[in-house]
Amino acid sequence: MPWFIKTERFTAQTLTLLPEQRQIYIDAHRAWINALRGSGVKVSSGFLVDAEQRPGGGGLLVLQADSFEAAKRLIEQDPMIVEGLVKWDLQQWIPVCGELMA
């Protein structure tokens, strides 16, 4: 089954939210990821940090799906996307070596 990678960055509007306001949406995102995992979807999600471990570089999600369209349908259910809090891009990833082979 193919792998897909979603990259994302907070929108300017999201950056104006107080940390506790953003945390509500981040918690909903994590619950969504856990629900996907519970349903058998192979998925990992996390955020990017700089050399000093400061967040703000965006996020990365890796998942398996039957097709690009199937992956896109799943990604469009992410609460961060539903609420318009991130700009995102989805690409199929074709691994050539390593642990995450199709």
CATH of the domain at 45: 3.30.70.1060
Return d(Cα 41, Cα 32) in angstroms, integer. 11
| Residue at 79 is within a domain | yes
| Residue at 40 is within a domain | yes
Contact 78, 29 (CB under 8 A): yes
DSSP per position, 22-64:
HHHHHHHHHHHHHHHHHTT--EEEEEEE-TT--EEEEEEEEEE
pLDDT band at 102; cut points 50, 70, 90:
low
Q: What is the mean pLDDT of residues 56-84?
A: 94
CB atoms within 10 A of CB 75: 19
| Residue at 99 is within a domain | no
pLDDT-above-90 percentage for the chain: 71
| Residue at 98 is within a domain | no
pLDDT band at 101; cut points 50, 70, 90:
low
Domain of 77?
3-93
Structural domain count, the chain: 1
